[in-house]
Amino acid sequence: MATSVHLSKLCQASTLAELAAWQKKKLETAKAESKLRELVHTRRCDPTELFPRPSQIRARLAH
């Protein structure tokens, strides 16, 4: 699946600049995901703080 998405993006990129921008964005996303996994793994943060459930959001707003 990821390969077909990659090829699709590659075919759509009309210039090298567009392709470079897409690759940079992909790299930034990968770095952010890696950092998030590291934070959760070392338990320096609670994943529910980053992605609260709707009930948690309502509870916070009620206070």
14-34 pLDDT tens trace: 777 788 888 999 999 999 888
Q: pLDDT: is 18 or 13 the higher one?
A: 18
Residue 19: Cβ-neighbour burial (10 angstroms; 0-12, 13-18, 19+): middle
**Distance (Å, rounded) from C-alpha 20 to C-alpha 56?**
39
- pLDDT, residue 25, reads 92
**Distance (Å, rounded) from C-alpha 2 to C-alpha 31?**
18
Classify 45 as helix, strand or coil.
Answer: coil
pTM for the structure as a whole:
0.41
Contact present, 6 and 13 (Cβ < 8 Å): no
- pLDDT, residue 54, reads 83
**CA-atom Rg of the chain in angstroms:** 18
